[in-house]
Amino acid sequence: MGKLIVGTFLILGLAFYELSGGSDFVPESRITQVATAEVIEEAPAPEVTRASNATLVNVAAEPEPTPVPEAEILQAVAEVVEEEAEPAPAPVEIAVTEPEPLDLRLVGSSRVNMRAGPGTTYAVLDTLDGGTQTEVIEVNADGWARVRISDTGQIGWMAERLLSDG
């Protein structure tokens, strides 16, 4: 087997040597051309106007006193006193509806995956132990229940068949 590999290597080497020109091989000479760049003279920069070096002094303006019209204040107070108090509105009866009872269920199997969506293709959010209390929020047509864990408040999906009434 070793002789076959060495023989094949020699035949391939000889074929490459002959295809590349053999002893008559002369590498191509390339003509290189050096590009010369034109030197562009820059125009002189415009002169920048500068502020004078005079010392600046901060001067605080004194606020002018604003006169307070006393007559208008007294008149406004008099108007407020003259207004009569409005009678209190009649009590309004509010209909109180009883909240729907929570659909609480327990995890029926020993370990159940709670997922990010209704199906096994979604990521596992948590693995719940058997007996964990959950609140069923909704159940879709495929048999997946959207649940909230009573202890942590975490929401996810699990197969409804893995939940027992509790």
Full residue range of the structural domain in which residue 130 is found: 104-165
Whole-prediction pTM:
0.41
Any domain includes 113: yes
Any domain includes 159: yes
Residue 159 maps to which CATH number? 2.30.30.40
Any domain includes 44: no
Any domain includes 14: no
Total domains, the chain: 1
Any domain includes 149: yes
Report d(CA 76, CA 95) in Å as an integer: 43
The owner of tokens 């327990």 is 106
Any domain includes 147: yes
pLDDT digit of tens for each residue in the chain (166 aa)? Answer: 899 999 999 999 999 988 888 877 777 777 777 777 777 777 777 777 776 666 666 666 677 777 666 655 555 555 655 555 566 676 777 766 777 778 889 998 889 999 999 999 999 999 999 999 999 999 999 999 999 998 999 999 999 999 988 6
DSSP3 helix / strand / coil % (the chain, rounded to 5): 20, 20, 55
